[in-house]
Structure 1
Amino acid sequence: MDRSLTSAQLDVFDKEFASRPANRLMQNAVTQTPVDDIALDRRIVTAADHSVSHHLDAWKVTNQKKSGRCWMFAGLNLLRAGAARKLGVKDFEFSQNYVLWWDKFERANHFLESIVETSGRDVDDRTVAHLLGDPISDGGQWNMFVALVAKHGLVPKSAMPETDSSSATGPMNRALKSLLRRGARDLRRMASEGVEAQRVHKGEVLAAVHRVLSIHLGTPPQRFLWQWRDKDQEFHRDGWMTPTEFAASYVQIPLDEYVCLVHDPRESSPAGRTFTVEYLGNVVEAPPVVYLNVEMDLLKRLSMDSLVGGEAVWFGCDVGRMMRADVGLWDAALYDYEAVYDASFEMDKAARLVHHETQMTHAMLFTGVDVVDGAPRRWRVENSWGDEKADKGFWTMNDSWFGEHVFEVAVRRSALPPELAAVLGEPPIVLPAWDPMGALAR
């Protein structure tokens, strides 16, 4: 090959393509049919068994609609089963809109504080450019969910129901990003005046953010009257409650006892160490987002043990890989793209992370596992995309997919081997703000 493309080289490529009947066959097929339908391995689909030996969910799925709130939906879905049992009802939902409001407001403050801290750097500094590239988004992490519940509590969905903007966050986010970038411009200009002057102006920016959020999402309740009928139609009343009182009463698991385990096989990420990502978070002064890097076998075993023990598992993954939505299935070999294109796509998980081919894009909840001879064979997943696909919104993940495309789970600290539990107290390695381990929050 020459440095630039030449007509002679293009002629060689054209003749080579045309000379192979398989290429012409695939061209005829793919120009008329979606490539996924051509590449789909029907053997995997027809062999798929959606039953599992351990099955926890007895509730309806939720729907995040046109928003990126998967992480908070997955967190609330983990909590609502215990709340439903305590309330004596068949199904229950916490208000996702309430958590969204506080996440946006806290995240705006977090962004502006990050701008204050970096205001002495050049605007083209990579960290500053990263912050300005996405001042506020819908994504998030487990620790960020826990921070919101700890500070602001929770309310039932009836106390702050969904709005058009909570279900389709694009226009609201557009306004918020413009406000925050303008605020960043002003705060950077004020760097010579000192932090106190910057924070006075930050208050003015946050006042505008508060108005935007309240216009789009409503006003989060400070108190609400809580009463309900259980599944036997018996009436109950707790009376007036604050969100923190409601969370204290109806969150049935100790959120502060959970830790995030990740599988990051990059050479730069040693197993058995904790990590954090610079400027990743939402609540200023909350505990940082910290991951403990472990081997995949342990990630699977602890997830399986939790499910067998009766508790669902929050997890993060690269959701769009090898996925078939109409049947609700993930499998690592679901599509044979190599046969379609006669090209190799082989990259291991570490190489995909390093070369920007993969990152965490979605959070969901494991609600079941099929265990054979003490090992997981497939996983049942509660998604937050509504009930129109899969088993009324519950999907099946073959174990091959878990190993390739799951990155993170939240489990109880007490489940860790003692040598790993001891590591949690060590200072974490700080990854740069743009590292793919922070992608779920973006």
Structure 2
Amino acid sequence: MSKEIKLEVIEQFSEEFKSCSKRMLSQRAVIKNGILATSENQSSIIANTPVFSIDLETGGVANQKQSGRCWMFAALNTFRHQIANNFKLKDFELSQNHTFFWDKFEKANYFYENIIKTGSDDLTSRKVAFLLQTPQQDGGQWDMLVALIQKYGIVPKVIMPETISSSASKELNSYLNKKMRKDAITLRQLVSNNANRSELDKAKEDMLAGIYRILATALGTPPTTFDFEYRDSEGEYHLEKNLTPKSFYDKFVAVDLNEYVSIINAPTEDKPYNKVYTVEMLGNVVGGKEVRHLNVDMATFKELAIAQLKAGESVWYGCDVGQSSTRDSGIMATDIFDVDATLGVDFTMSKAERLDFGESLMTHAMVLTGVDLVEGKSTKWKVENSWGDKVGTKGYFVMSDAWMDEYTYQIVVRKEFLSTELKAIIEGDEAKVLAPWDPMGALA
């Protein structure tokens, strides 16, 4: 039987609090400055100076502004680094808006297909509720980006620049989701009336036509062919004519995306290490690359990231950026704030417990561009963010090695850095399918 809180117990709590001078000091400080500012550790800032033994030259940072496209920015930034080096293009950017357009379009189709698949399920089933809660959003996963590029290619930012709706996507998302929920009503009614597949496809095509109109109006029309002219960092003029988004990728990036794999660290009981996982209803391009994660221990995880950095290539990675981090100074460290002491509460949880109990999951994707190695061991990491150059050190953050252990969940590396055993696992093992709401299905 439930019990109420007795008033005498509250009085006891109050007296205990007021009798402790340390608690009263914390109260005065927090009331004036807030919890985090009061708890900030200067020693952690000093320990995480932005100096690294391996430090890739990557140029200025991009800015995703008021959108949730970090996964997209991070991936395109890794390509941008290679283009800048190979073609002597300083401060060059790829079009995030082009990829954004096709991601939204494909996510609508992916949603419609899942609505059809679950059309006979009760409206109150967890899967249907999961689909309808957020029909589409800005976030994504590395393998979803691969699927988009393999189908649609990429273009320079000057060919399809940003718009108000790509830089601040709240309005666009609201109306896309409004339409997709309305369309879900129609599709479920058709399934209920035993419509055949051709009838469902015709209805879906009409719905996708509406999605395209919304996207073209808000984001512009994606180019099919274009000319690309530029001057390189040495002042030499170049003109590339009659390019397509796919031929541009082939010429300027020329990276075999099938050679890259997603590595995760999820130390939960339901996900043994050295196994492959996928997530039900996670994706964007129907028939495109499947999301596949290889789960490894953190020591292996960091070894793989270091190997790719040593080879001169940056690393796409996903983490829970809001945990124990500062936006202004750009420090991600487990000891940057001592909130336990400030509030007199023990917040300690293991990484597995945070995942299992909903305290943490991947929320943001960035790029590892450096690491500080002392006697062969990593101590801190250099991170290229996509929040512009007004945060951190000109947009770059510092991540302590301990923070990497606790709050980083995913990296993407070339297969060549995997051991023979791990390579055989990722290429051969059938993936265990996780529930749609599993934390490893989180979209950065």
- TM-score in terms of structure 1 length: 0.98
**2:228 corresponds to which residue?**
226
CA contact (8 A) 2:372 2:381 kept: yes
The residue that corresponds to 1:102 in the other structure is: 102
Partner SS state of residue 84, structure 2: helix
Aligned equivalent of 1:284: 286
Are the counterparts in 1 of residues 363 and 443 from structure 2 also a CA contact under 8 Å?
A: yes
Q: Deviations over 1:160-193 (max 9, x none)?
A: 0000110000000000000000011110111022
Q: 1:194 and 1:2 mapped to 2: Cα distance?
A: 52
Higher mean alpha-carbon deviation, 424-433 vs 357-366, is at: 424-433
CA distance in 2 between partners of 1:423 and 1:266 (Å): 19
Give 1:47 shift.
3.2
Which residue matches 2:441? 438
Q: Mean Cα displacement is larger for which, 432-441 or 131-140?
A: 432-441
Moved more, 113-122 or 82-91: 82-91
Cα deviation for residue 2 of structure 1 reads 7.0
CA distance in 2, matches of 1:177, 1:93: 29
Distance 1:321 1:361 in 2: 10
Match of 2:358 in 1: 356
What is the distance in 2 between the residues matched to 1:114 and 1:367? 38
The aligned counterpart of 2:416 is: 414
| CA–CA separation in structure 2 for the residues paired with 1:36 and 1:312 | 31
Structure 2 match to 1:401: 403
* Secondary structure of the structure 2 residue equivalent to 1:9: helix
Distance of 2:142 and 2:186 partners within structure 1: 32
Partner of residue 81, structure 1: 81
SS in 1 for 2:238: strand
Partner of 1:29: 29
Q: 1:116–1:195: 8 Å Cα contact kept in structure 2? A: no
Partner of 1:271: 273
Residue 208 of structure 1 aligns to which amino acid in structure 2? G
Q: SS at the partner of 1:26?
A: helix
Supply the AA of the counterpart residue of 1:400.
A
Query: Which of residues 272, 275, 299 is equivalent to 2:301?
Result: 299
Q: CA–CA distance in 2 between the matches of 1:303 and 1:153?
A: 26
Secondary structure at the residue paired with 2:33? coil
Contact kept, 8 Å, 1:367 with 1:382, in 2: the verdict is yes
SS at match of 2:266: coil
In the alignment, which residue of structure 2 is the partner of 1:127?
A: 127
Structure 1 runs of 4+ aligned residues shifted over 3 Å read: none
Change (3 A) 1:206 1:10: same
Distance 2:202 2:116 in 1: 12
1:181 aligns with 2:181: yes
For 1:7-18, list aligned pairs within 5 A.
7-18=7-18
Deviations 1:365-394 (A, max 9, x none): 001111111111111010000001221101
Residue 263 of structure 1 and its aligned partner are, at CA, apart by 0.3
SS at match of 2:282: coil
- Residue identity in the other structure for 1:128: V
Aligned AA for 2:431? P
Alignment of 1:241-280 (within 5 A): 241-280=243-282
Cα displacement string for residues 34-56 of structure 1 (whole angstroms, at most 9, x for unaligned residues): 21111111111133321001111
After superposition, give the CA deviation of every residue in 1:66-119 in whole Å (9 maximum; x if it has no partner): 000000100000001211233222231110000000000001100111101110
Query: What letter corresponds to residue 441 of structure 2 in structure 1?
Result: G
Q: Deviations over 1:392-415 (max 9, x none)?
A: 101111111100000000001121
SS at match of 2:135: coil
Please list, as runs of the form range in 1=range in 2, the aligned pairs for 1:315-394 lying within 5 A after superposition.
315-394=317-396
Give the match for residue 38 of structure 1: 38
Greater Cα shift, 262-271 or 371-380 = 371-380
User: Is the partner of 1:276 in helix, strand or coil?
Assistant: strand
Contact 1:79 1:252 in 2 (8 A): no
- Aligned residue in 1 for 2:171: 171
Is the contact made by 1:147 and 1:287 (CA closer than 8 Å) also made in structure 2? yes
Instruction: Calculate percent identity across the aligned residue pairs.
Output: 42
SS class of match (1:15): helix
Q: State how many pairs are aligned.
A: 441
Contact 1:83 1:252 in 2 (8 A): no
Contact residue 75 and residue 314 of structure 1 kept, 8 A: yes
Flag structure 1 segments of 5+ consecutive residues without an equivalent: none
Q: Secondary structure at the match of 2:158?
A: helix
Q: Which residue of 2 aligns with 1:47?
A: 47
Q: Is the Cα–Cα contact under 8 Å of residues 48 and 399 in structure 2 kept in the other structure? A: no
Distance of 2:404 and 2:159 partners within structure 1: 37
Q: Offset of 1:15 from its aligned partner?
A: 2.0
Task: Give 5+ residue unaligned stretches, structure 2.
Answer: none
State yes or no: 1:4 paired with 2:7: no
Task: Please say which of residues 107-116 and 229-238 is displaced more in the overlay.
Answer: 229-238
- 1:228 offset after TM fit, Å? 1.4
- Partners of 1:57 and 1:219 in 2: CA distance: 34
Instruction: Give secondary structure in 1 for the equivalent of 2:263.
Output: strand
